[in-house]
A and B are shown apart, each in its own frame.
Chain A
Amino acid sequence: MTAYIIRRLMVLPIILVGVTLLIFAMLQVLGPVERSALYVRDIPHSEAALDAVIRRYGLDEPFYKQYWYWLVGRVDPETGETIGGVLRGELGYSRTGREPVVDTLKRRIPMTVELAIWSMFPIVFIGIWLGIKAALNHNKWPDQLARIVAILGYSFPTFVFGLLALLIFYARLGWFPPGRLSTEFSQEILKPAFVNYTQMVSIDSLLNLRFDIFLDALRHLVLPVITLSYLSWALLLKVTRSSMLEALRQDYVTTARAKGLSEKVVVNRHVRKNALIPVATIAGSTVAALLNGVVITETIFNLPGIGSAAAAAALSLDVLTMLGFALFTAALFILVNLVVDIMYGVLDPRVRLE
């Protein structure tokens, strides 16, 4: 087991360096002049000033040198101060956020995490529950329903789904409004009496024992959570269903039934445990689906998370903000996949022997 984990960990630095190289390579698509615009708020009009900017950030130097400056920073030849350096947490200045990219990320991550946390409930409950139901009723109506849910889930574009949800449940019925909180409460949470422990309104309101705010926050979360997660329900549903079907065909299940165990005991004790192992492996794809989804979902529902920041940045070519987002998502995604791989190795002994 240790050898397996070490092997996985050894690949990690290669991937991380590769990811930063890839991000940096994307920047090279732009010429030095355009790239200088990424570092200063206004492109200087005089040629000399422009040259100074290019020299200051080393934008005319060879690729590998620039990559190094971008990664660890560079000592300014004139002032002697170190500038830039992704590893030093210098992600640059966000034009759309009008603040350093790091601050934008810090301020907006809680909203995105809040969405992701709430999305876990329907994903796990609907996805796994319906998947098991479908497999146990193979080719009967719960199975057909599951099939329809899965195909619809895969085929519905997130942005169309989100807008239709708003059309029906907000514009027509007025049940679930967009945004994060109603106006009266958004003032309330800025007051000193309201302590922001986590910056996630739905959780902070509980910690502050303000159930009125909690309910309002939930009301605003219903549509975004469904929009963000339905693709993952479909994903989980499909995997659970097929791996349950597979497990039901195994010899040990036949043996268990032949022993005279009730169907309930067979399913609970023998089938489900083994069937859920492959389900753990799609945790990675679920996180990917969520990260893709927040860009669209937060934009449609006007939520201040990192996804909507990335969408706004992409629209006005605020490359540094986008790269900050890319670094963050890639780092998170790599971490999740590592955890999943290790978990899989723990759950299924066959994997680590390979």
Chain B
Amino acid sequence: MSADVVSSPVQLDDEYLDEQGRIERLLGPEWARLLKGIVTNPLSVAGLIILAGFVLMAVFAPVLAPPINENWNTRIIPRDGFSAEPRPPGTPWEKNRPETIPFWYGITGHDDWVHLFGTTSGQYDIWYGVIWGSRTALFVGSLVVTSSAIIGILIGSTAGFYGGWVDEVLMRLVEIFIAFPFLVAALILASILVPIFGRSIWPASIALIAFGWTGYARLLRGDILSTKERDYVQAAQASGARDIHLILRHILPNAIYPTLVVLSLDMGAIVLSFAALSFLGIGVQEGYADWGQIVSFARSWILTLDKHWYIIVFPGIALLLYGMGWNLVGDALRDILDPKMRGR
């Protein structure tokens, strides 16, 4: 569709096109509608603002929580000693303190480094964990979602396009993978992978990918089954287009929209699952800058949670907002793409 518009012989003067027309010419009508829907729906705007906040947090992490010294590994939360008792927000930072005080620090009302969000047992600083944890969340989320989407799209489009026994075999394979509840399956595979990859983000990420692709495969297969019967695909096929050209050029671009919805919902859901695995102690090592890992410290303080609320509340809010941001955007996308909701 977009190709038609761009190569149209009638050259329209840019001045006569309003901004929306220009966007539409650039992206094609469907993408333009998506973009317009997202920026005009208040819920998705709220979601986008939340997500932009997390991206800024990740980008400006070195400003918000400056490296404590030159050799500091940014993935490991700095710790102020080793004592077991968590300390509340505002406690002065004694050992292993960051060398620089950032320019904005005055607004906290302190002249020198304190534990802004308190510390966990083992004296890991929660502020550092929350800030640098945004990088872990965005990285793991994109890595897992992209990988599972690619696998799912490959398998789903193969099954949908070729049909017959290929479809039968691939879909039975999918059914086997979804016979396990997602988190249970990921928990088991991740724990088996720990001795191989060591305690890092990899065991949990690989496990989430291994069981996360099935949704995309099923969705895309269904979309392709219905798209490939359309006239323009049949026409392209009749004119001798090769399979790969048909899939990439004619079928995928028109079948991909529902996948976008799942993609954005998954960006949040996967990070919540990853955090749940961290919380159970599977995956990253103690002290890794990961929100779930920080919350897991609360397990030792169940009886005195009212005193040590900050271990849960700060990383918990980060997780909740992060999940909510993606859910708001994903929900809006679904409404925009739902043909029944069109024009409402």
Contact with B along A292-316 (1 / 0, CB 8 A): 1001100110100000001100110
Contact with B along A148-177 (1 / 0, CB 8 A): 000110111111100110110011100000
Closest CB-CB distance, A181 to chain B, in whole Å? 17
7 smallest CB-CB distances across A and B, nearest first, come from A18-B176, A155-B323, A171-B306, A292-B183, A160-B316, A155-B324, A314-B191
Classify chain B: how many residues form its interface, as a range.
Answer: 35 or more
Does B280 interact with chain A (Cβ within 8 Å)?
A: yes
Chain B contacts for A178, CB-based, 8 A: 302
Does A215 interact with chain B (Cβ within 8 Å)?
A: no
CB pair B181–A333 under 8 Å, yes or no, is yes
CB pair A164–B312 under 8 Å, yes or no, is yes
B292: which of A14, A159, A167, A292 is its contact (CB, 8 Å)? A159
Tell me the bound Cα distance from A287 to B179 in angstroms.
12
Does A53 interact with chain B (Cβ within 8 Å)?
A: no
Contact with A along B274-303 (1 / 0, CB 8 A): 011001111000000000100100110011
Contact with A along B170-185 (1 / 0, CB 8 A): 0011011101111111
Tell me the bound Cα distance from A322 to B189 in angstroms.
10
A-B pairs under 8 A by CB, number:
158
Give 18 A-B contacts (CB < 8 Å), ordered by A residue: A11-B175, A19-B179, A22-B177, A26-B189, A154-B265, A155-B320, A160-B315, A160-B320, A166-B302, A288-B181, A292-B182, A302-B302, A314-B190, A317-B192, A325-B184, A326-B180, A329-B181, A334-B179
Chain A contacts for B280, CB-based, 8 A: 295-296, 299, 311, 314-315
Chain A contacts for B323, CB-based, 8 A: 154-157
Chain A contacts for B282, CB-based, 8 A: 314-315
Closest CB-CB distance, B151 to chain A, in whole Å? 16
Does B331 interact with chain A (Cβ within 8 Å)?
A: yes
Closest CB-CB distance, B72 to chain A, in whole Å? 28
Closest CB-CB distance, A228 to chain B, in whole Å? 13
B305: which of A18, A151, A159, A170 is its contact (CB, 8 Å)? A170
Chain A contacts for B320, CB-based, 8 A: 155-157, 160
Classify chain A: how many residues form its interface, as a range.
Answer: 35 or more
Does A30 interact with chain B (Cβ within 8 Å)?
A: yes
Contacts A15-B172, A334-B179; A159 near B192 (Cβ below 8 A)? no
Does A29 interact with chain B (Cβ within 8 Å)?
A: yes
Which residues in chain B, 322-343, are within 8 Å of chain A measured between CB atoms? 323-324, 327-328, 331, 340
Chain A residue nearest in CB terms to B298: A163
CB pair A323–B181 under 8 Å, yes or no, is no
> Which residues from chain B sit less than 8 Å from chain A, CB to CB?
172-173, 175-177, 179-185, 187-196, 265, 268-269, 272, 275-276, 279-282, 292, 295, 298-299, 302-307, 309, 312-313, 315-316, 319-321, 323-324, 327-328, 331, 340
Chain B contacts for A299, CB-based, 8 A: 280, 299
Chain A contacts for B303, CB-based, 8 A: 171
Chain B contacts for A159, CB-based, 8 A: 275-276, 279, 292, 295
CB pair B179–A158 under 8 Å, yes or no, is no
B181: which of A166, A170, A291, A322 is its contact (CB, 8 Å)? A291
Which residues in chain A, 120-144, are within 8 Å of chain B measured between CB atoms? none
Does A319 interact with chain B (Cβ within 8 Å)?
A: yes
Chain B contacts for A154, CB-based, 8 A: 265, 268-269, 323, 327
Does A188 interact with chain B (Cβ within 8 Å)?
A: no
Seed contacts A18-B179, A296-B279, A315-B280; 10 additional CB < 8 Å A-B pairs: A29-B192, A151-B331, A156-B323, A157-B279, A163-B302, A295-B184, A296-B183, A310-B188, A330-B180, A333-B181
CB pair A18–B173 under 8 Å, yes or no, is yes
Tell me the bound Cα distance from A174 to B175 in angstroms.
45
CB pair A151–B196 under 8 Å, yes or no, is no
CB pair B179–A167 under 8 Å, yes or no, is no
Chain A contacts for B180, CB-based, 8 A: 19, 22, 326, 329-330, 333
Does A27 interact with chain B (Cβ within 8 Å)?
A: yes
